[in-house]
Structure 1
Amino acid sequence: MSGSQQSLSFVHANTPDARAACEALIARYGNAPFDEANVIIALGGDGFLLQILNETMNSGKRVYGMNRGSVGFLMNDFRVDNLHERVAIATGNDFHPLKMTATDVHGAEFTALAMNEVSLFRQSHQAAKLKVTVDDKIRLEELICDGVMVATPAGSTAYNFSAHGPILPLESPLLALTPVSAFRPRRWRGALLPNKVTVDIHVLEVEKRPVNAVADHTEVKSVVSVRIAQSQDRTAVILSDPDRSWSDRILAEQFTN
């Protein structure tokens, strides 16, 4: 798409740095209404970018993030100059989020999308006790842990990596199933799953060992079961600079201290 065809809308996180960057860019390039733009320029950190990706799902809009946050793994470098040119040559990456369907102790059902991961965490001093099935086949009859997560390739360098899960190349058709402080089985380090599977996690001893479920930033308290599967009918598009491709970022992340 040529620079003359780009319609840019600027959005920013609620921080002084992001706000100042947004004002500088609008002064240079103007600002199309969000609903009318075909490219959204997101200024902030990874969390803010995930929020914008959720808002633009299936809209055909592409999201180009620039880092005005802390880590910014998902973001491009911030520069004011040559923005139209950068956007025109950026590489588009399609993302299908995970869909979480969680049922709580009252029987209420909640759904939410996750670009990074769906996680379950113990809610009290008691470790969680969970049963894990994959495509309706029991894989772990009993997992005692602080928590467990299913992470996408995009999310594999986030909380999944901090929990000693594997980093997944963006193009890999895989999900990471990663425990948090597994106590039993003590030596279980997680698993790599095809991204077409459905994972069901059932909470055992619900009253004694309450568990919360989180899809990125959406939390459901006191769940009894959680179903996790990749959403095939929802797509978000993120743009990255050619010299900062996803493969390069993931490769570099594996060689950092």
Structure 2
Amino acid sequence: MNQHVDTPADIETDKLAFVSSDTEEAIAARQSLEAAYGSAPAGEADIIVALGGDGLMLQTLHKFMGSGKPIYGMNRGSVGFLMNEFRAEDLRARLKVADITTIHPLTMDVTDQDGARHTARAINEVSLLRQSSQAARLKVSVDQRVRLDELVCDGIIVATPAGSTAYNLSAHGPILPISSPLLALTPISAFRPRRWRGALLPDHAQVDIEILDPLKRPVSASADHREIRNVVSVSIREELALDGLIMFDPDHGWDERILTEMFRY
């Protein structure tokens, strides 16, 4: 399950590694922080500081998943839901009091029309989308029990609590508290059954999706930014044994961000 953990009082902040997106603003921020605080190789760093937007944070979390290195982001992008406010002053003091949230990625195992197998991980969501003008036809099973013999739709999403405020929310899926042991299963423009609005699943559930009529109605599967096209089956589960660590300032942590989204109108 996703677990919120307070930063240990003795967290090391001496060795910092800085990464940035390729925008001028992010690069300039990285260079100024490296000059002020020094720069350690990522493999030797206590903390990775990411400068950019949410896309960079996802890339950095993927890269350092399972490394035990916490990631502290500062917004030099646009939305910045996963980032802290950019301030160059007193960075080490901010890191000392920051909260750490432990997150677990989804793993999708995919078989395509050629019989090839693919595996990819997602921090936010796994999404299946129709590739043509015709709606997809999907059979949905949870823990090897068929729950929907046929879902006719534009697609379907399996989202973690971390990703519940992203694509899942745009598809009218539920917002999940970051510490909840749940996954959101959300249809995209369901045509049949028309009234099905999705489900909340325990985080240990395995979701298997079979594409019905894949040649006539092709479907792609995406794990965050990695897309695999012309799939015939997808199996999705959360990797509870694999940890990623993300840091937030204590006055605006992930719980507060998600609560803000819940009451946004």
Give the TM-score category using the shorter length: over 0.9
> What's 1:8 paired with?
16
Which residues of 2 match residues 121-132 of structure 1 at below 5 A?
Answer: 121-132=129-140
Q: CA deviation at 1:4?
A: 6.5
Q: Which runs of 5+ in 2 are unaligned?
A: 1-8
Which residues of 2 match residues 38-187 of structure 1 at below 5 A?
Answer: 38-187=46-195
Does the 8 A contact of 1:116 with 1:158 survive in 2?
A: yes
Question: Deviations for 1:189-240, whole angstroms, at most 9, x for unmatched residues?
Answer: 1110000000000000011000000000111010000000001232110111
Report SS of the residue matched to 1:184: coil
Does the 8 A contact of 1:145 with 1:184 survive in 2?
A: yes
> What's 2:244 paired with?
236
Counterpart-to-counterpart distance in 1, 2:137 and 2:61: 33
| Residue type of the alignment partner of 2:137 | K
| Residue type of the alignment partner of 1:19 | I
Q: Which runs of 5+ in 1 are unaligned?
A: none
Q: CA deviation at 1:3?
A: 7.6
Q: Percent identity?
A: 58
Cα-Cα RMSD: 1.1
2:43 to 28, 31, 35: 35
1:200 aligns with 2:208: yes
Which residues of 2 match residues 201-216 of structure 1 at below 5 A?
Answer: 201-216=209-224
Q: CA deviation at 1:183?
A: 0.5
Counterpart-to-counterpart distance in 1, 2:39 and 2:210: 47
Q: What TM-score does the superposition give when structure 1 sets the normalisation length?
A: 0.98
Counterpart-to-counterpart distance in 2, 1:147 and 1:122: 6
| Residue type of the alignment partner of 2:60 | I
Report SS of the residue matched to 1:14: coil
Question: Deviations for 1:25-84, whole angstroms, at most 9, x for unmatched residues?
Answer: 112111111111020000111111011011111111110011111111111111000100
Q: What TM-score does the superposition give when structure 2 sets the normalisation length?
A: 0.95
| Residue type of the alignment partner of 1:194 | P
